[in-house]
A and B are shown apart, each in its own frame.
Chain A
Amino acid sequence: MGEHISMTVNGTTRELDVEPRRLLVQVLREDLDLTGTHVGCDTSQCGACTVHVDGKAVKSCTMLAVQADGSAVTTIEGMAEAGDGGALHPLQTAFWEKHGLQCGFCTPGMIMTAADLLSRNADPSDEEIRHALEGNICRCTGYQNIVAAVRAAAVAMADGATAGETAGAGVGA
């Protein structure tokens, strides 16, 4: 009863048989065990499930898995360099350093949306960041440190930071 699909997920090709009614987020979480992509609502409002499909931010609760056939999908698990202790993406580093998260539930979606923004606008103003995050809800932080984190990541990336150059962050200020 499943449709056969093929996706590249975080750089690895995955062949799957999926029920046509199943959402991309369900397949990521349940079939591929990529539970970093979260489900926070059922109306496509909260953005906790945001992933990249062919390089663009997409709410994976709003897309059928079969629609991703042939696509390249990146989830939060694919943002840091591969391997144990792989270097963090500059956005991950910035969210950590700027206290851009509290409970952490919205964080993967926030990072994915912010990465999409920075790919289109390398030097966004605070106002542009706030606008870009319109589709991602956070209930813990009041957004202030999320905005600061995205700004900090933009600066770091402008200075040439990549996932490979933000390694070694340990505990402590």
Chain B
Amino acid sequence: MTDLLDAPSSPLGKPIKRTEDPRFITGEGRYVDDIKLQSTAHMAILRSPYAHANIRSIDTSAARAMPGVLAVYVGADIPYNPMPMAWPAGGSAGIQNNVSTPRTLATDSVKWTGEGVAAVVAETEDQAFDALEVIAVDWEPLPAVVDAEKALADGAPQLHENAPNNVVFEWNVGDKAGTDAAVDGAEVVVRQRIVNQRLIPNPMEVRGNIGWYNPGTDEYTIWMSSQTPHIQRLLLAAFVMGIPEHKIRCISPDVGGAFGTKIFCYPDYALVLFASKNLGGRPVKWIEQRRESYGSTIHGRDHITYLEIAGKRDGEVTGLRVKTLANLGGRLSTIGPGIPTTLYARVLSGCYKIPNVYAEVTGVYTNTAFVDAYRGAGRPEATYVIERAMDLFAAEIGMDRAELRRRNFIQPDQFPYENPSGLGTASGGAKIYIDSGNYEPAMDKALGIVGYADLAAKKAEALARGKRLGLGFSTYIEVCGVAPSKWIGAVGEGWGAAMWESSNIKIHLTGKVVVTMGTQPQGQGHETTYAQVVADQLGVPMEDVIVQHSDTQGTPFGYGSYGSRTSSVGMTAAVKAAQKVKAKAARYAAHMLEANVEDIEIDGAEYRVKGSPDKKKTIQEIAFALDLAFDAPEGMEPYLDETAYYDTPNCTWPFGTHIAVVEIDDETGHVDLVRYVAVDDVGKKINPMIVDGQLHGGIAQGVGQALWEEAIYSDEGQLLSGSMLDYALPRASWFPHIELDETVTPSPVNPLGVKGVGEAGAIASTAAVANAVMDALGDLGIRHLDMPYTSQKVWSAIQSAKGGQS
């Protein structure tokens, strides 16, 4: 890229190489564990070996006597409140939330293997681990339950006194009477129990923090691997520690992936801050072990769903009735209840015009790790339900699956569309509706790429090779770009607070444009894409736009990055800030050029007097003069420095069609993903190269759920898939080349026309692969299998279907 002033083409929409990459490819990235502060002490946490137990006593005397040990803490030592529960379920009358959240360290009992019960701080990490070994806990083991249905059954072990029958909440949405009538009176009803299995997100960088208490100022600083430093400061200060917000500074340096896991308020944040203060201000570092991460960082999904889809033999779908049990773990994570309610059931009908939808969701405590938002957060679960349901319905009435979808798509002239599971009605005053879409062109494009017309021939050809070929669809939509504060802040509907975003732009006297924001990258390339947006707005070269983030001291408050919100909400705030900068620059240009501001025309970085093209100043010349302000007119504040806060009026609605093609070995049951075609409409693209990368990664994670990944607890609550040896993380050789294409329907909700793309791949791909596997096995009369489709599971099903031994 050359000087934009010479070649005034905007960087927007171009596949520009990422500006953050040089440090990562040379090993100079700085993740939390790479930060070394002088006199740092190291912390290790003792985790419960039992899924359910009372703590009779803890003897730490031997640990305290170990070499290098500085302190040993148990729950009773720490005066903080339990972790906050920020998003109870709600939205309809009579919802009771039976809340139990973790404490900094457990005090009386533990509810899952991995809950923290004691912590050692020592001079070195090895010494801290050595000392953990000699802490003696007198346990009273209790019966455990790990399955949501079993937890609700009579006689099940009870986890919390305030949660009878282990119920976190019972919640519903939609028109029950209308849906009952539609389903119970329908020509065709298809029913299926489906399981959306528990997943372990596994960002490559585990979590970790360094806490530092400054005795001189009575202030805390924490370096954390977080998606939400501003929210963590708020939650830690106001809810956990009970101190003013300004007393904590949160810094989230380079974050090695997150996928939702690093949104939440974890006990270890409070623990390192407590320890640092207790030790008189020594920095205290805690870096999670991977095995610790498996049991103690949030898990995702874990739904058991009973679906009923109803309609007519001509293909008109008229009703969807869903009952879901959401396993939320032994205690609640920060927004756990919000995921299977608002972010799931309100979009169950997907891109289809289904007039009657009703869903009941029961949140359940079990003796497992807490469950919260994992990439897609509720919407992959919803997409899995509706896309499996559409395939089951098509099979029942003998209709082509693509035609069934086409028959039921919301049509372009039907937007704005308020779906019947209550997006519009429960919005607390905000108007939440599906604002745009055009679903058929995306599907037709995907059908063309994959060669859908030749499916039968391809199946026959594969069968001749001993392979069962299957093709599966996912015609998905997602609600993202979260979210209007009126909606997400409405009592019960959201997390009781706002979800706007912020950005500050200032132009230094020395000429660089510095952009700060409340969002927080975890690998998405924000340093590049924010610079593209602001360079485009101000007409300056990208090299002159410096993007700084991740420190609550020096960035405006923001809600962080998740829910595919950074481009649509965060970057719109940057656009708004740039517009303020331009307006002020125009006023000062008028002064410098001795013209009226109405006569100033802006062309990229140039501010010119209309009719006198030689009378002009660049924005950086204006900034220089205004930052010095020797000659500023009366009433004009010095410095080009503007902040904007942006509350989006609606969410955004990406959509598309994903098609997976699998071949199943008839002898071994091995499922091979042989093709993957994705046609996505994510609106306009700030950087198409980065968009493609987000889609690749999301698709891979969703495919992982369909084919390989599953968190498994024993009946006693031991995590059997508790390491990378035991949990099947996808490898490079397991994937084909992913084929991407697009349609572009700009979002009408923001000036950039963007929708967000972080979650789309993960939302769409699981259902596409599942439907492909079921299509491959359909000829055997197999109607449904639960994921993941391991060779053993598929082989057993094939053998059973053939009447052999399974």
**A contact residues vs B (CB 8 Å cutoff):** 19, 21-22, 29, 33-43, 45-46, 48, 75-77, 79-80, 88, 92, 95-97, 99, 101-108, 111, 126-127, 129-131, 133-134, 136-147, 169-173
A134 to B259, CA, bound (A): 22
A141 to B697, Cβ gap below 8 A? yes
Q: Is B701 an interface residue (CB 8 A)?
A: yes
Asked if A95 meets B21 with Cβ closer than 8 Å, knowing A34-B27, A46-B724, A48-B204, the reply is yes
The contact of A144 among B1, B204, B735, by CB within 8 Å, is B735
Q: How far is the CB of A130 from chain B (nearest CB, A)?
A: 4
Q: A142-B698, A170-B1 are in contact. List 13 more A-B contacts (CB 8 A).
A: A35-B31, A38-B205, A96-B21, A104-B20, A104-B523, A108-B27, A130-B733, A139-B202, A142-B697, A143-B700, A144-B738, A171-B1, A173-B14
Q: In the bound complex, do residue A41 and residue B255 qualify as a contact, i.e. CB atoms below 8 Å apart?
A: no
A residues in contact with B126, CB < 8 Å? 19, 21-22
Query: By the criterion CB–CB under 8 Å, are A35 and B34 in contact?
Result: yes
Instruction: Name the segment of B317-325, B347-355, B548-556, B688-696 touching the other chain.
Output: B688-696
Residues of chain B with a CB closer than 8 A to A75's CB: 27
Q: Does B723 contact A (CB under 8 A)?
A: yes
Separation of A34 and B36 alpha carbons in the complex (Å): 12
Does B732 lie within 8 Å of A96, measured CB to CB? no
Q: Which residues of B contact A33 (CB under 8 A)?
A: 36
Chain B, interface SS category: loop
Q: Which residues of B contact A19 (CB under 8 A)?
A: 126
Is the CB–CB distance between A36 and B26 below 8 Å? yes
Known: A103-B255, A108-B27. Contact between A171 and B542, CB under 8 A? yes
Cβ contacts A to B, 20 pairs, < 8 Å: A21-B126, A39-B33, A40-B206, A40-B290, A42-B723, A45-B723, A45-B729, A46-B204, A99-B18, A102-B525, A105-B256, A107-B25, A126-B737, A130-B733, A134-B733, A139-B204, A139-B697, A142-B735, A143-B732, A169-B17
Asked whether, in the complex, the Cβ of B257 is within 8 Å of the Cβ of A139, the reply is yes
A104 near B256 with CB under 8 A, answer yes
The 4 A-B residue pairs with the shortest CB-CB distance in the complex, in nearest-first order: A36-B27, A172-B1, A103-B523, A104-B24
- Give chain B nearest CB distance to A60 CB in angstroms: 13
Residues of B within 8 A of A22 (CB): 126
Are B1 and A139 in contact, with the CB atoms below 8 A? no
Are the CB atoms of A99 and B697 closer together than 8 Å? Answer: no
Question: Is the pair B18, A143 in contact by a Cβ cutoff of 8 Å?
Answer: no
Residue among B255, B543, B690, B729 making CB contact with A137, cutoff 8 Å: B729
In the complex, residue of chain A having the shortest beta-carbon distance to the beta carbon of B531? A171
Q: Can you name the residue of chain A whose Cβ is closest to the Cβ of B22?
A: A96
What's the Cα separation between A101 and B205 when bound, in Å? 14
Distance of A95 Cα from B39 Cα, bound (Å):
37
Contact of A103 with B205 in the complex, beta carbons under 8 Å: yes
* B interface residues (Cβ-Cβ under 8 A, vs A): 1-2, 14-31, 33-34, 36, 126, 202-206, 254-259, 289-291, 522-525, 542-543, 689-690, 692-694, 696-701, 723-725, 729, 731-733, 735, 737-738, 761
Residues from chain B with Cβ under 8 Å of A36 in the complex = 26-29
Are A173 and B257 in contact (CB-based, < 8 A)? Answer: no
Would you call B524 and A102 a contact (CB within 8 A)?
yes
Our pick among A95, A99, A130, A138 for the contact of B204 (Cβ within 8 Å) is A138
**Residues of the A chain whose Cβ atoms lie less than 8 Å from the Cβ of B31:** 35, 38, 105
CA distance A141 to B586 in the complex (A): 43
| Contact residues in A for B20 (Cβ distance below 8 Å) | 104
Measured in the bound complex, the distance between the Cα atoms of B698 and A102 in whole Å is: 12
> Does B290 lie within 8 Å of A103, measured CB to CB?
no
| CB pair B17 A172 closer than 8 Å | yes
Q: How far is the CA of A34 from the CA of B27 in the complex (A)?
A: 8
Query: A81 to chain B: closest CB distance in Å?
Result: 11
**Measured CA separation A94–B17 after assembly (Å):** 11
A88-B26, A104-B29 given; A147·B697 CB < 8 A: no
Taking CB atoms, residues of chain B closer than 8 Å to A141 are: 693, 696-697, 700
Q: Report yes or no: B18 in contact with A76, Cβ–Cβ below 8 A.
A: no
Closest CB of chain B to A113's CB: distance in Å? 10
Q: Would you call B732 and A173 a contact (CB within 8 A)?
A: no
Contact partners of B21 in chain A: CB under 8 A: 95-96, 101, 104
The 8 Å CB contact of A76, one of B26, B202, B699, is B26
How distant is B234 from chain A, measured CB to nearest CB, in Å? 25
| B207 smallest CB distance to A (angstroms) | 12
Q: State whether A97 touches B204 (Cβ < 8 A).
A: no
Task: Please tell me if the beta carbons of A133 and B732 are within 8 angstroms of each other in the complex.
Answer: yes
Decide yes or no: A43 and B17 within 8 Å by CB, A103-B256, A144-B735 being known contacts.
no
Residues of A within 8 A of B36 (CB): 33
Chain B positions within 8 Å of A34 at CB level: 27
| Chain B residues, Cβ within 8 Å of A144 | 696, 735, 737-738
Report B-chain residues with C-beta under 8 Å of the C-beta of A95: 21, 25
- Say whether B731 contacts A41, CB under 8 Å: no
Cβ-closest chain A residue relative to B202: A139
Please, how many angstroms separate the alpha-carbon atoms of A52 and B689 in the complex?
Answer: 31
List the B side residues contacting A101 at CB < 8 Å: 21, 24-25, 523
With the chains together, A39 CA to B761 CA distance in Å? 27
The contact of A127 among B543, B697, B733, by CB within 8 Å, is: B733
Complex Cα distance, B724 from A133, in Å, reads: 16
B205, A40: Cβ atoms closer than 8 Å? yes
If A105-B257, A142-B738, A173-B16 touch, whether A99 touches B690 (CB-CB below 8 Å) is yes
User: B26, A137: Cβ atoms under 8 Å?
Assistant: no
Q: Which residues of B contact A76 (CB under 8 A)?
A: 25-27
Do B689 and A99 touch across chains, with their CB atoms under 8 A apart?
A: yes
User: In the docked arrangement, what's the CA distance between A172 and B9, Å?
Assistant: 13
A80 B26 Cβ-Cβ under 8 A: yes
What residues of A have a CB within 8 angstroms of the CB of B761 in the complex? 142
Q: Cβ of B25 and Cβ of A131 under 8 Å apart? A: no
Contact B290 A137 (CB under 8 A): no
Complex alpha-carbon distance, A107 and B251, angstroms: 23
- Say how far B717's CB is from chain A's closest CB, in angstroms: 21
Q: What are the residues of chain A within 8 A of B522 when measuring CB–CB?
A: 103
**Residues in A whose Cβ lies below 8 Å from that of B732:** 129-131, 133-134, 136, 138, 143, 146-147
B757: min CB distance to chain A, Å: 12
Q: Which residues of A contact B205 (CB under 8 A)?
A: 38, 40, 103, 105
Most buried by B among A39, A42, A137: A42
